Amino acid sequence: MKFMLTASGNIFYRAGHNRWRTLLVAWLMLLPMFSLGLYTSPTASAALALDPNMETTWKRTDQFVAQGSQPRSWLWGPQAFSIVTEDYDGSPGSGDVPAGKRLVAYFDKSRMEINNPMGDRSSKYFVTNGLLVKELIGGRRQFGDTNFASYVPSDTPVVGDRFNNSKAPTYYSLGEVSSLVLGQNSAKNRLNQSVTAYIERDGGIREDLTYGKYNVSIAYYDPTFGHNVPGVFWDFMNSRGKVLENGQTVDGPVVDWIFSTGYALTEPFWTKAVVAGKEKDVLMQCFERRCYSYTPSNPAAFQVEMGNVGQHYYNWRYRAPVLNCSTAPIRGFGKLWADNPSVKARIGCPYSYSAEQVTKIAVLNFEHGKMVWVNSSAGTSYYLPFAKTIFAVFDDGSWATVADSWDESQPESANLVAPPGLYEPKRGFGKAWRNETGLKLRERLGWAIEKYELGGVGAVQNFWSGLMLWFGPTKEIFVGFRYYNRTNVWETYPDTFVG
């Protein structure tokens, strides 16, 4: 095979950001055209009820709110609106909950979970409070302690009304300003400084000094992810009031913020949000488990509120319309798509113009990932970003693409001396590996663990949110999920199609 490499070597999801975001918006606008009566649903049973420890957790704070004896906002909500079982690897199960499932209860503000029904019921962590905000922003749903699957992040507004609320940012908007991993998007300590940052719907940040009129300043710097917490939220997180403990009404902390809120993922931002049909100034900040809002125009006892994260997550996970595609993939792609609902939901429908296309493909494995070369120049329509494309796939499952312009007039290698048992990649793989310093391919992939790439016949097909590649020599299907301005995700499956 011959290789080429463009001078730019941009990551595809960055180079095509506007195009793909436009496609996402178009897709979301088309949702009402699908079969809206057909929804995915959790495993539910009329017999399921709140576990006694869940009921105790709710009563501790929200029983008093329900009674009207404490003028404060809900920590959970008036009641669980859905009690279901969900897949969770390793959970032993108990009673009506089988092994591999966990009992969860969705409230307006969050979700309660019991991951191990055989655990210590005296521990406050017997009932856990899901990291729903991280999932909504990052799109990574958790199905076990170490089992995650990637989806398109939620496009629901974080604060205010769900519809006709065009200025408030969505969870998707927060992806570029959130700390989903340590060291990402950290901020400097701004203790005692005024909060005047404004966030646009698209995630853009600007300073707006007019918000200084609300006299909100930073009271705490959370060093975990590196974010500032304003006094209005910090005071609420440390407030005291009537709570129920061991069957007795006592004066105690209302919010155990590590347990119920988690660490700050974003800075505090002002925005314009439509609340009950009326536009208001709202200060918002998202944490691992909850998002907070501060509405200066509300009555004092209800200026700080928890966002409806439980509702938002439930709708994102369970109330997306079932796909009603005009075409369906066939052979190996079709079998994987039909047999794996997670892949189907995340990658969407195949483009109507994009039937499966036969191509040449080659794979070279590295210490920390692999490179995949695809010759798409014979295609009759758009399949890949370049006529000849190199995919760099990293150990963490992310991937990027570069174009290939290596030709026979160029040297095959730089004659580098590899460590024993390892090899310098050659031709197009080698040129990309050496020269793509912006992507740091050499640092991220390490040396090749094979002397020669394995090549053969393959196939490619484009979908709404990614593509599938079939590699004939090993009968594997590579699935690349595109997440626009998020990290792309790559997964590998065996081709089980026979025929």
* Tens digit of each residue's pLDDT, the chain (499 residues): 332 322 222 222 222 333 334 344 334 433 333 322 233 445 544 468 899 999 999 999 999 999 888 888 999 999 999 999 999 998 998 888 999 999 999 999 999 999 999 999 999 899 999 899 999 998 888 899 888 887 878 889 999 998 889 999 999 899 989 999 899 999 999 999 999 999 999 899 999 999 999 999 999 999 999 999 999 999 999 999 999 998 999 999 999 999 999 999 999 999 999 998 899 999 999 999 999 999 999 999 899 999 999 999 999 998 765 677 888 999 999 999 999 887 887 888 888 666 888 999 999 999 999 999 998 775 544 457 788 899 999 998 888 888 898 999 999 999 999 999 999 999 999 999 999 878 899 999 999 999 999 999 999 998 888 899 999 999 999 999 876 445 678 999 999 999 7
Containing H/E element for 140? Answer: strand 140-142
Handedness of CA 93, 99, 100, 101 (dihedral sign): negative
SS3 6: coil
* Cβ(282)–Cβ(303) below 8 Å: no
Give the CA distances from residue 449 to residues 417, 425, 478, in Å, rounded to whole numbers and listed in that order: 14, 9, 20
Task: With CA atoms as reference, report the closest residue to 206 among 198, 216, 218, 194.
Answer: 198
List, in sequence order, the alpha helices (H) in 246-287.
257-260
SS3 430: helix
Tokens at 168, concatenated: 């408030």
Q: What is the DSSP pairing of strand 148-150 with strand 140-142? A: antiparallel
- Model pTM score: 0.67
**Measured distance between the N- and C-terminal CA atoms of the chain, rounded to whole angstroms:** 29
